[in-house]
Structure 1
Amino acid sequence: MTQAWWKEAVVYQIYPRSFMDGNGDGIGDLAGITSRLDYLQELGIDVIWLSPVYKSPNDDNGYDISDYRDIMDEFGTMEQFDTMLEEAHRRGIKIMMDLVVNHSSDEHAWFMEARKSKDNPYRDYYIWRPGREGGGAPNNWVSCFGGSAWEYDAQTDEYYLHLFTRKQPDLNWENPRLRREVYDLMTFWLDKGIDGFRMDVINFISKVEGLPDAALQEGAEYAWGGEYFLNGPRIHDYLQEMNREVLSRYPVMTVGEMPGATVEEAKLYTGLQRNELQMVFHFEHVNVGDGKFGKWTPNPWKLTELKAILSKWQYGLREDGWNSLYWSNHDQPRAVSRFASDKEEYRFVSATMLATCLHLHQGTPYIYQGEEIGMTNVAFDSIEDYRDVETLNAYRDLAGTGKLTHEQMMDGIHQRSRDNGRTPVQWSNAPHGGFTTGTPWIAVNPNFTHINMEQSRQDPDSIYHYYRALIRLRKANPIMVYGDYDLLLENDEQIYAFTRTLDAEKWLVLCNFSDQTVLFSAPEELASYTADQLIIGNYESNGDETLGSITLRPYETRVYRLGNET
């Protein structure tokens, strides 16, 4: 297997608005990030994935960019960005920027020019179409945030495509001038010294010619048109061109966010000889349990489903390509609430079990801010307390039309809203969790009084120190990075068990995903092995170190180095 620094790295995602406020206005900023770099160095991470800090009107919290070469006023100045970058590098921490180029803001200079007239030089930077004969949008596609994916523009009597909010018009990648603009702005940041890009919904950029109607479900007004823009016809041409023109010239780290990508498609995106990207973010595991209205009507899920998904990706990218490993990010609820238990009696063991499970898979692990102290979902009482445009639009479309009751919708929001991951980081038990001296842009989770960084750092047996130990373990043991993954007990609904193997070394990973005490009995393929050493675990050892029969307590995890009996 080809070795690379980005395979060995541990990435930490910062959502700047919620990380640390440096000037007391209630909004996280670049100065706040710089002030906490020592903390991240102590944690042991190698790379910061920085969610967008570009100039933006904030219709979608920075994912609607009005100037790709400037900094959002609320976050600070370019000088503060340069200082943050320099200080991060001084501590051995790389910076991976968010690249959002499926769409821009409607307040970007390109779009403001484009909407002036049909023959404007910037018109073809976006996707415009006349309405249907008799009126109406050019096709029946639905926006990812609800409603039609088309917005009528009276000045030129045409519609523009927006797969997200109406203030996020899609860029037209068919236009070589637009692609050149994108490559130039990427070069601008790489020349500044950044170390890579996480590419937002990058597999949306190629649309099928003609933009045809999608199949409508009975009674629906709009249709998910994903078959006409997910992994579209020219996507590989565009990414290979991007690699050739920009990425190949720098020692960068790249990961593409790719909803709907399959393992087979991921091989094309990440294969070593393909010259496209290094990793993709897929969504299969975080969509487990989705119900009639997707994540807003969550159903119970089975561990066998989760194991099947993660194992499919482990095996699928084993020979070529590479996995990105994550439980949560700015678009997902908190990991401990989503995949284990955030009840206080189980929160430590749940969070550390999930961390062990993730970091022991093959791939590059991503930690989302606050995950390392076991931050949990929040349950605000009122819809008025939520800020996320996706959440608010879903409430309007589902509760507002009677498809779900208010109570049903709020239950879905409490479990799956993106705002669960966007409440401010809880630094201490000071007011607002030490995040700000002002009024935070979204309320802090009330449990900050006992879940916070300060408390976690002071407690040697905390989730935080467990994460530090896991990261140190990864840096000292190549088997965690490069070892082959093999699933055990495929049909067990409580225990997630697998091995990692590198040359003559073999590790066994055991994770109890239940609040029950369960018995692990080694399967036949481990019959010739012994448990030589308990490498890490989240309980005090109870002395049953024989593989034939191991009692796993609620949410217990253990990692053993195996020896060969013969």
Structure 2
Amino acid sequence: MTTTRKAPWWESGVIYQVYPRSFQDSNGDGVGDLRGIEQRLDYIAALGVDAIWLSPIFPSPMVDFGYDVADYCGVDPLFGTLDDFDRLLKAVHAHGLRLLLDFVPNHSSDQHPWFLESRRSRDNPKRDWYIWRDPAPGGGPPNNWISDMGGSAWQWDEATGQYYLHAFLKEQPDLNWRNPAVRAAMTDVLRFWFERGVDGFRIDVLWHMIKAEGLPDNPLNPHYRAELGEKLKLLQIHSTNQPEVHDIAAAFRALADSYGDRLLVGEICLPVETLMHYYGREAPGVHLPFNFQLLDAPWHAQSLAAMIIAYEAALPAGAWPNWVIGSHDAPRIAARLGEPQARVAAMLLLTLRGTPTLYQGDELGIGKVEIPPDRIRDPQDLRQPGMGLGRDRSRTPMPWDGSANAGFSTAEPWLPLNPDWQQRNVQAEQHDSGSILSLYRELLRCRRASSALALGAFELVAADGDLLVYDRFDDRERVRVALNLAGNAIKLPFDFDPAAKLLVGTHPRESMGDMLRPNEGMAFRLSGPAAA
């Protein structure tokens, strides 16, 4: 296999998600900010990633912690100023990194000037910038749609006698993307940030942006269970994933491409066969439609192998895969799997074909964090208590060292720290060759040094019981990855080439051997030049 084209930076790159509220506080208010992120760029660069994705930093009432945007072309004072942003961006680039922003186009804050105008009267010029409807013939909401945060997706406005649509909180009214003026205004937003030098965007809930004409009722979900949360009572057939959204994605892509080597990542929570449409239909779509399958995949070798093979087979010609295993919305990897398997998961994520996205703190093995009832901040948890839907547990501050407040802030952090922060922090782990942080750094180093791991093809070797084995290869080398997903030793079902060289493993090893120890993963070169 020979690759002749020059791959864009993001194909061999690794994205690192920073949740700004929880990364580093520079001014002692207990909340992270842009200057704090700048202070920690040496850490991010030394980790070995290629790009930083920032969760929203825009002016916001913070009802949903920045995903309710009141000004798309500014910086919330909580995080700093536009000058702070420009300084951060310059510093990011000076570290050889790239910076992606979180673009939230489906909805704004109800405090955005556009919405304040829109709700002023039925004949306001911006009325149609949002989705307003009369009550149903018998009274009540216009249809049966349910908010992703629970409850009706419609909010009554007494002053104008109509309902407005909100797919999330009532403080997050949905924009009307069928209105050309909305498209033009939001395109200007993207252009504003591209002109400042950002390297791309992660596009929030891209699949939500267009609603079906006529806004018909969504059908009932025949497989609904209460523990799934209220939003899944219905199948979101008419409220999401409409064909016209691909025209919007194509327009975003054309704009990004006009600025050169820029990246668009789309948040799309849909089945794989539907997800693939977001790479583009008649015209190119987003570069990377986020692949979230590892977030809740059954942790069994055969299940993972089948999922990987099906995903690879579904990719359109020329499309590049990507993998996500942790995020600000999902439980921590180590909380789901335990630290021993979190190490194996790290090796899986960073050796599969495609662009991986890491979430801050997962490289430290942060596990379960209990949030006391009086410290809960997540509106999703507050609206549906006891459902286990809270996201605060994944947004706790980064523990940097063993000093007060883990070096995150001089004040009490806005959320509790992980309970073992005095032992599980950056300073402690970076000096421990056996730490999970050291493993992540070594995996990222090997990925960068190996052409096969960075851009090579994928081939399944074995998926039996708790053993998963696959090869990554190109015309220069073949690397084999063997993962033990169990707490007992497993014999490898193949003979070792005497010339095979261990590249990286979850456990220290003196020799290769034909057994994987419990919870062990290793990657070794079967052929090619000696390791760098």
Relative to the length of structure 1, the TM-score reads: 0.87
Q: 1:538 aligns with which of 506, 525, 529?
A: 506
Counterpart for residue 405 of structure 1? none
Counterpart for residue 334 of structure 1? 332
Asked whether the 8 Å contact 1:266–1:321 carries over to 2, the reply is no
Counterpart for residue 562 of structure 1? 526
Counterpart for residue 277 of structure 1? 286
Give, in whole Å, the separation in 1 of the partners of 2:139 and 2:239.
24
Kindly state the Cα deviation for residue 142 of structure 1 after the two structures are TM-superposed.
Answer: 0.8
Counterpart for residue 240 of structure 2? 230
Give, in whole Å, the separation in 2 of the partners of 1:88 and 1:504.
32
> Which amino acid in structure 2 is aligned with residue 376 of structure 1?
G
Q: Find out whether 1:305 has 2:329 as its counterpart.
A: no
> Which amino acid in structure 2 is aligned with residue 458 of structure 1?
H
Give, in whole Å, the separation in 2 of the partners of 1:46 and 1:282.
19
Counterpart for residue 7 of structure 1? 11
Asked whether the 8 Å contact 1:425–1:435 carries over to 2, the reply is yes
Task: Give matches, 1:204-219, under 5 Å.
Answer: 204-216=208-220
Give, in whole Å, the separation in 1 of the partners of 2:301 and 2:142.
43
Counterpart for residue 508 of structure 1? 480
Counterpart for residue 255 of structure 1? 265
Q: What number of residue pairs does the alignment pair up?
A: 518
Q: 1:394 aligns with which of 377, 381, 384?
A: 384
Kindly state the Cα deviation for residue 379 of structure 1 after the two structures are TM-superposed.
Answer: 2.0
Query: What are the Cα deviations for residues 21-64 of structure 1, in whole angstroms up to 9, with x where unaligned?
Result: 01010000011101111111221221100110000001111001
> Which amino acid in structure 2 is aligned with residue 558 of structure 1?
M
**Paired residue secondary structure (1:446):** coil
Residues 417 and 510 (structure 1 numbering): CA distance in 2 closer, same or farther, change over 3 Å?
A: farther
Asked whether the 8 Å contact 1:146–1:394 carries over to 2, the reply is yes
Query: What are the Cα deviations for residues 244-280 of structure 1, in whole angstroms up to 9, with x where unaligned?
Result: 34543332011100011x3333433225983221101
Give, in whole Å, the separation in 2 of the partners of 1:226 and 1:217.
9
Task: Give matches, 1:148-547, under 5 Å.
Answer: 148-216=152-220, 223-260=233-270, 262-270=271-279, 274-288=283-297, 302-317=300-315, 319-338=317-336, 340-342=337-339, 346=340, 350-380=341-371, 382-395=372-385, 399=386, 409=387, 413=388, 417-490=390-463, 492-503=464-475, 505-522=477-494, 532-541=500-509, 543-545=511-513
Greater shift in the superposed pair: 156-165 or 225-234: 225-234
Query: What are the Cα deviations for residues 296-336 of structure 1, in whole angstroms up to 9, with x where unaligned?
Result: xxxxx644333322332233227421222221011111112
Asked whether the 8 Å contact 1:207–1:233 carries over to 2, the reply is no
> Which amino acid in structure 2 is aligned with residue 313 of structure 1?
Y
Asked whether the 8 Å contact 1:213–1:225 carries over to 2, the reply is no
Kindly state the Cα deviation for residue 542 of structure 1 after the two structures are TM-superposed.
Answer: 5.6
Residues 318 and 210 (structure 1 numbering): CA distance in 2 closer, same or farther, change over 3 Å?
A: closer
Task: Give matches, 1:4-153, under 5 Å.
Answer: 4-153=8-157
Kindly state the Cα deviation for residue 185 of structure 1 after the two structures are TM-superposed.
Answer: 0.6
> What percent identity do the matched residue pairs reach?
38
Residues 129 and 530 (structure 1 numbering): CA distance in 2 closer, same or farther, change over 3 Å?
A: farther
Query: What are the Cα deviations for residues 371-397 of structure 1, in whole angstroms up to 9, with x where unaligned?
Result: 1221112123x33332111122221xx
Tell me which stretches of 4 or more aligned residues in structure 1 moved more than 4 Å: 217-223, 527-531
Kindly state the Cα deviation for residue 530 of structure 1 after the two structures are TM-superposed.
Answer: 6.1
Asked whether the 8 Å contact 1:318–1:484 carries over to 2, the reply is no
Asked whether the 8 Å contact 1:263–1:317 carries over to 2, the reply is no
Asked whether the 8 Å contact 2:295–2:324 carries over to 1, the reply is no
Asked whether the 8 Å contact 1:271–1:320 carries over to 2, the reply is no
Greater shift in the superposed pair: 197-206 or 508-517: 508-517
**Paired residue secondary structure (2:384):** helix
Give, in whole Å, the separation in 2 of the partners of 1:475 and 1:181.
39
Asked whether the 8 Å contact 1:386–1:392 carries over to 2, the reply is yes
> Which amino acid in structure 2 is aligned with residue 370 of structure 1?
G
Give, in whole Å, the separation in 1 of the partners of 2:178 and 2:527.
57
Greater shift in the superposed pair: 426-435 or 177-186: 426-435
Give, in whole Å, the separation in 2 of the partners of 1:306 and 1:417.
26
Kindly state the Cα deviation for residue 18 of structure 1 after the two structures are TM-superposed.
Answer: 0.5
> Which amino acid in structure 2 is aligned with residue 439 of structure 1?
E
Relative to the length of structure 2, the TM-score reads: 0.92
Query: What are the Cα deviations for residues 153-193 of structure 1, in whole angstroms up to 9, with x where unaligned?
Result: 11111111111111111111100110000100100001001
Give, in whole Å, the separation in 2 of the partners of 1:354 and 1:542.
23
Residues 165 and 499 (structure 1 numbering): CA distance in 2 closer, same or farther, change over 3 Å?
A: same
**Paired residue secondary structure (2:414):** coil
Kindly state the Cα deviation for residue 217 of structure 1 after the two structures are TM-superposed.
Answer: 5.1
Asked whether the 8 Å contact 1:268–1:274 carries over to 2, the reply is no
Asked whether the 8 Å contact 1:270–1:322 carries over to 2, the reply is no
Kindly state the Cα deviation for residue 124 of structure 1 after the two structures are TM-superposed.
Answer: 0.9
> Which amino acid in structure 2 is aligned with residue 486 of structure 1?
E
Asked whether the 8 Å contact 2:430–2:438 carries over to 1, the reply is yes
Residues 510 and 185 (structure 1 numbering): CA distance in 2 closer, same or farther, change over 3 Å?
A: same
> Which amino acid in structure 1 is aligned with residue 262 of structure 2?
V
Give, in whole Å, the separation in 2 of the partners of 1:273 and 1:496.
37
> Which amino acid in structure 1 is aligned with residue 414 of structure 2?
W
Give, in whole Å, the separation in 2 of the partners of 1:156 and 1:208.
24
> Which amino acid in structure 2 is aligned with residue 26 of structure 1?
G
Asked whether the 8 Å contact 1:98–1:200 carries over to 2, the reply is yes
Give, in whole Å, the separation in 2 of the partners of 1:373 and 1:498.
26
Q: Which segments of 5 or more consecutive residues in structure 2 lack a partner in the other structure? A: none
Asked whether the 8 Å contact 1:498–1:510 carries over to 2, the reply is yes
Asked whether the 8 Å contact 2:256–2:263 carries over to 1, the reply is no
Give, in whole Å, the separation in 2 of the partners of 1:247 and 1:227.
31
Give, in whole Å, the separation in 1 of the partners of 2:499 and 2:101.
43
Greater shift in the superposed pair: 371-380 or 222-231: 222-231
> Which amino acid in structure 2 is aligned with residue 552 of structure 1?
L
Give, in whole Å, the separation in 2 of the partners of 1:130 and 1:544.
70
